[in-house]
């Protein structure tokens, strides 16, 4: 049984690479689209835009991520749009994340005093400069705890990608079970591996929060 451990760990570590790829790809979509949607919903003067973004957020947040992945991977394939498992996972988790982060960012911007923006404009900054130098840095500081929670959640959610055969940790774990039958050892290793990815990330965010004096 101890002989099996190095084999199990090296196989699972190959899955950790996919976890990193899917998580960073999804995070890229989630942060950029989430920020864009948040700015649109806070600053738009068109009620229709706000309603459309609201509908998108509610759909994404009230349907399981697994259903989104199945829709993208199996559903769209049936009408000719084919994603690789990894791409479907990145797009699916990214779109869900954009809805989560849009809520977070919008709440962060709304929590700032109007005077921050008005003062920025009054001293001659352009609206874009005001956003980039005054509003967004404060918004990020305020929302850092939520961003940290989201990031941990995203890393854990990459495990769902194994359901559409993306070769990540749980996918390899299930393959290993059928080839070595060391079931408890394999799943225990997988759990420990996930925890050893999530803990440092959570710790990094906690450290960043302390540094920036969040909740001061």
Partner 1 sequence: MNEFFQAYPTYWPEWGPRLASAARVTAEISFFGFLLALVLAAGLVAMNRSRLPALRMASGAVVEFLRAVPLLALLLALYFGLPAVGLTLSGYWAGILGLGLQGAAYVAEVFRGGLDSVHKGQREAALASGMTPFQTFTAVVLPQALRVMLPPLVNCYVSLLKDSSLCALIATDELMLAARQISSEYFLPLHIFLLVGLIYFAIAFPLSMFSRLLGRKLSRGRRALGST
Binding site for partner 1 (CB under 8 A): 58-59, 61-68, 70-71, 74-79, 152, 156-160, 162-163, 169-170, 173-174, 177, 183-184, 187-188, 190-191, 194-195, 198-199, 202
State the nearest-atom distance from the C-beta of 158 to partner 1, in Å: 8
Q: How far is the CB of 130 from partner 1 (least distance, A)?
A: 27
| Residue 105 vs 117, nearer CB to partner 1 | 105
Task: Name which of 21 and 152 has its Cβ closer to partner 1.
Answer: 152
Of 145, 141, 128, the C-alpha closest to 39 is 128
Tell me whether residue 134 or residue 176 sits nearer to partner 1 (CB atom): 176
Helix 183-212 × helix 4-43 angle, to 10°: 40
Nearest distance, CB of residue 105 and partner 1, angstroms: 18
C-alpha span between 120 and 130 (Å, rounded): 5
* 80 DSSP assignment: T
Smallest distance from partner 1 to CB 95, Å: 13
Q: Pick between residue 100 and residue 131 the one whose CB is nearest to partner 1.
A: 100
Q: Which residue's CB is nearer to partner 1, number 51 or number 63?
A: 63
Say how many C-beta atoms besides its own lie within 10 A of residue 181's C-beta: 10
Question: Do residues 206 and 25 touch, judged by C-beta distance below 8 A?
Answer: no
End-to-end CA distance of the chain: 51
Please list, in sequence order, all residues whose beta carbon lies within 8 angstroms of the beta carbon of residue 203, skipping any fewer than 6 positions away: none
User: Cβ of residue 125: shortest distance to partner 1, in angstroms?
Assistant: 30
Whole-angstrom CA distances from 3 to 39, 165, 184, 190 are 54, 27, 15, 17
């Amino acid at each position: 049984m101890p002989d099996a451990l190095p084999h199990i760990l090296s196989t699972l570590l190959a899955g950790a690479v996919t976890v990193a790829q899917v998580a960073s790809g999804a995070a890229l979509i989630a942060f950029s689209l989430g920020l864009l949607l948040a700015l649109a919903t806070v600053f738009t003067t068109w009620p229709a835009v706000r309603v459309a973004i609201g509908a998108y957020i509610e759909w994404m947040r009230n349907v399981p991520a697994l259903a989104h992945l199945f829709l993208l991977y199996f559903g769209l394939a049936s009408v000719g749009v084919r994603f690789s498992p990894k791409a479907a996972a990145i797009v699916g988790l990214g779109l869900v994340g954009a809805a989560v982060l849009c809520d977070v960012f919008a709440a962060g911007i709304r929590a700032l005093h109007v005077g921050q923006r008005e003062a920025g404009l009054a001293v001659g900054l352009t609206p874009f400069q005001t956003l980039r130098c005054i509003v967004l840095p404060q918004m990020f500081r305020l929302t850092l705890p939520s961003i940290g929670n989201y990031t941990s959640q995203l890393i854990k959610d990459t495990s769902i990608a194994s359901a559409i055969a993306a070769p990540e940790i749980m996918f390899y774990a299930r393959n290993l079970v059928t080839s070595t039958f060391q079931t408890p050892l394999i799943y225990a290793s997988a759990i420990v591996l996930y925890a050893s990815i999530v803990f440092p990330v959570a710790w990094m965010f906690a450290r960043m929060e302390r540094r920036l004096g969040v909740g001061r």
